[in-house]
Amino acid sequence: MRNLRITSEPHAGPEEITFVREAIARHNVAVTRDAYYSPLAIFLRDGRDAIMGGAFGNVWGGWLELTLLWVAEPLRGKGYGERLLRTAEEEARMQGCRGVFLSTFSFQARPFYERFGYEVFGELPDYPAGHAYYFIKKTLEVPATNTEPG
């Protein structure tokens, strides 16, 4: 191939980003033979349908990668974050996931996740300066199946 060049495009459009993501996904499926992928999008909405919170992620490889969980400032501390998290976990269970993993900063929600059984499995210290970045996971209990004859 000729005339290849590397370009920096911090404001790349969704089409370009999707192209690269899908190329990586095709490689991952080819190597693992695990073709099941499902996005997760859960919203907390008010009576006017305005978004007041949300949880986003992706199911692949038997795990839910929870990429974002957010609740609007006036609603924090009222149980909505827990409800979003538990809803995400339940959707993950329904899709056969054995666990959930995510990342969070020391100034964000580590204690919140630990309260619900998540544990730190990695840390990047001093990112950003004076803080830390944590990698957190939780193993999900798979619902018991009834094997008794009916």
Q: What is the mean pLDDT of residues 2-29?
A: 94
Establish if 48 belongs to a structural domain. yes
Nearest Cα residue to 115 out of 126, 127, 104, 131: 104
Q: How far apart are CA 74 and CA 48, in angstroms?
A: 16
Band the pLDDT of 141: cuts 50, 70, 90. Answer: confident
Give me the number of domains the chain comprises. 1
Quick check: 147 pLDDT over 60?
no
CATH number at residue 82: 3.40.630.30
Q: What percent of the chain has pLDDT over 90?
A: 91
Nearest Cα residue to 71 out of 80, 83, 63, 61: 80
Range of the domain at 44: 37-139
* Per-residue burial over 17-38, b = 16 or more CB atoms within 10 Å of its CB, e = otherwise: eeeeeeeeeeeeeeeeeeeeee
Q: What percent of the chain has pLDDT over 70?
A: 95
Establish if 15 belongs to a structural domain. no
Quick check: 142 pLDDT over 80?
no
**Cβ–Cβ under 8 Å, residues 39 and 21:** no
Q: What is the mean pLDDT of residues 23-30?
A: 93
Give the model confidence (pLDDT) of 49-71 as tens digits: 999 999 999 999 999 999 999 99
Q: What is the mean pLDDT of residues 126-149?
A: 85
Summary mean pLDDT of the chain: 94
Q: What is the mean pLDDT of residues 96-106?
A: 98
Q: What is the mean pLDDT of residues 73-96?
A: 97
Establish if 121 belongs to a structural domain. yes
Q: What is the pTM for the complete model shown?
A: 0.86
Establish if 90 belongs to a structural domain. yes
Q: Hunting for tokens 């609740």 — which residue is that?
A: 71
